[in-house]
């Protein structure tokens, strides 16, 4: 077995050939790689979600998500529905403030998108509420 230093020297001497071999291997094994990634993601949902949150600058762990899920009784913080009731069991979204990155709660996809479409502001959500109240009286 080669030492790390020997591997580095080999790579430096044969960089182009090594890269070409890696590209060829990737091209010849695309479907196998896709299958492997899909299986890994299914086995590691927490790691996948943590990676996604990190990409958005949100410091939140899978363990914290699980605790919040229990605290919310496995329901959307807005409509109080359980994911099995509306989204084929899709997990609840991690709602967060886009400026401070602070986590606010777990929401179903519909509620999360609705709040997002209203600009995540109390004023616009309140205006929408008032609009619906007025319209119901007419």
Band (2; pLDDT cuts 50, 70, 90)? confident
Q: What percent of the chain has pLDDT over 90?
A: 81
The whole-number pLDDT of residue 87 equals 66
The whole-number pLDDT of residue 86 equals 76
Band (102; pLDDT cuts 50, 70, 90)? very high
The model's pTM: 0.72
The whole-number pLDDT of residue 84 equals 83
Mean residue pLDDT of the chain comes to 92
For 92-105, b where at least 16 C-beta lie within 10 A, e where not — what string? bbbbbeeeeeebeb
Domains and CATH numbers, the chain: 1-43 (no CATH), 57-138 (3.40.1800.10)
The whole-number pLDDT of residue 88 equals 73
Residue 122 and residue 130: Cα distance in Å, rounded?
12
The whole-number pLDDT of residue 12 equals 92
Give per-residue pLDDT as tens, 39-74: 999 999 999 999 999 999 999 999 999 999 999 999
CB contact at 8 A, 48 and 64: no
């Amino acid at each position: 077995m080669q030492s790390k230093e020997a591997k580095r020297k080999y790579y430096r001497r044969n960089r182009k050939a090594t890269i070409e071999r890696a590209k060829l291997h990737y091209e010849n094994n695309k479907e196998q790689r896709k299958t492997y990634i899909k299986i890994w993601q299914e086995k590691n949902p927490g790691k996948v979600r943590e990676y996604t949150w990190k990409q958005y600058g949100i410091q939140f762990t899978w363990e914290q998500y699980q605790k919040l899920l229990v605290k919310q009784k496995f329901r959307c913080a807005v409509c109080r529905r359980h994911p099995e009731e509306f989204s084929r069991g899709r997990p609840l979204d991690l709602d967060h403030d886009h400026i401070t990155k602070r986590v606010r709660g777990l929401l179903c996809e519909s509620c999360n998108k609705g709040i997002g479409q209203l600009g995540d502001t109390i004023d616009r959500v309140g205006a929408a509420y008032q609009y619906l109240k007025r319209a119901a009286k007419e």
